[in-house]
Chains A and B, each alone.
Chain A
């Protein structure tokens, strides 16, 4: 019947693709080690630079394909910031654009076979989420002073439940960076692990065509997820930024 590998069962190693490795083969990984994660983050930064430089070089009245792609991305993120966070958030647009482009390119480059997905590392997404959290705290207190704390005091609720809601809102506020980081990291991690699990079914000869179809379908889904997760991360950043700029409900 089925061609199972030696040892009886099927061998699935879906988590092996997320192993950090030193680029130069050393086994101890420290703070400043250049790993495959660093390499692919550098690739995505390079790709963004190439994309934006190529997109803005011509500045033609009738845009070329690259130029209209770059302009559309810019306009898309700019409208999102204005729509969600308000006009006065335009000052922070460069930060949000940087976040969006980095996550989008890291997600898409991770879909190249044999590549590494930096956004599946909770260390990477965690740093991004903490930077957003700290930015929101700093902007919130700098703009509103202690008035930023009115974020937790929901005046539209009945007076009796306000203290309870304040406690819940306060806890939720501190959970923000966790959910922000884990949502992106978890979605990418789960998707890539799923790809490998489906690929593992190809060990059974009879199931191999089905496994191939499955991989193709999951891959298409992952392309979608890569875009959506970048969008969701950015739009949540905009929502948090709106809280910092206008904490009054």
Chain B
């Protein structure tokens, strides 16, 4: 047996934190999908809303990146 229980916890924690990336992917997909659904109903109004789309995606993505950051901290900073 190499390593110790703390290292095991570190790796398991990093793996669990990676689930957050998947959750963020669901969020981003939701934003983009709903935008597309709305845009296809009223294409003339869609062009003016791309900024809102990107803001929405950015906010959804931020939390996924926090999860990634937790994984990074566990792997390299603990």
* A87 to B2 alpha-carbon distance, docked (Å): 63
Q: How many residue-residue contacts, CB under 8 A, span A and B?
A: 36
A239 lies within 8 A of B65 (CB): no
* A179 to B51 alpha-carbon distance, docked (Å): 18
How close is A177's CB to chain B, nearest CB, in angstroms? 12
Chain B, residues 47-62, CB within 8 Å of chain A (1/0): the string is: 0100100110110011
One of A38-46, A61-69, A97-105, A227-235 at the interface? A227-235
* A84 lies within 8 A of chain B by Cβ: yes
* A84 to B69 alpha-carbon distance, docked (Å): 29
A231 lies within 8 A of B54 (CB): yes
- Contacts A15-B76, A179-B62 given; does A186 touch B68 at CB 8 Å: yes
A182 interface neighbour in B54, B57, B65, Cβ under 8 Å: B65
* A189 to B69 alpha-carbon distance, docked (Å): 10
* A187 lies within 8 A of chain B by Cβ: yes
Nearest B residue to A84 via CB reads: B51
* A83 lies within 8 A of chain B by Cβ: yes
For A15, list chain B residues within 8 Å (CB): 76
Residues 80-105 (chain A) with a chain B CB within 8 angstroms: 80, 83-84
Nearest A residue to B76 via CB reads: A15
B62 lies within 8 A of A183 (CB): yes
B-side interface residues, number (CB < 8 Å): 14
A236 interface neighbour in B58, B65, B68, B76, Cβ under 8 Å: B58
Residues 164-194 (chain A) with a chain B CB within 8 angstroms: 179, 182-183, 186-187, 189-190
B51 lies within 8 A of A182 (CB): no
Interface SS of chain B: helix, strand, loop or mixed? Answer: helix
Interface size class of A (residues with CB under 8 A): 10 to 19
B55 lies within 8 A of A239 (CB): yes
Chain A, residues 211-224, CB within 8 Å of chain B (1/0): the string is: 00000000000000
A232 lies within 8 A of B58 (CB): yes
For A232, list chain B residues within 8 Å (CB): 54-55, 57-58
A residues whose Cβ falls under 8 Å from a Cβ of B: 15, 80, 83-84, 179, 182-183, 186-187, 189-190, 228, 231-232, 235-236, 239
Q: 18 A-B contacts, Cβ less than 8 Å apart?
A: A80-B51, A83-B48, A83-B51, A179-B62, A179-B66, A182-B65, A183-B62, A186-B65, A186-B68, A186-B69, A187-B61, A228-B54, A232-B54, A232-B55, A235-B51, A235-B54, A235-B58, A236-B58
Q: Could you list 19 further interchain pairs (A-B, Cβ under 8 angstroms) beyond the known A182-B69, A183-B62, A183-B65?
A: A83-B51, A84-B51, A179-B62, A182-B62, A182-B66, A183-B61, A186-B65, A186-B68, A187-B65, A189-B72, A190-B65, A190-B68, A228-B54, A231-B54, A235-B51, A235-B54, A235-B58, A236-B55, A236-B58
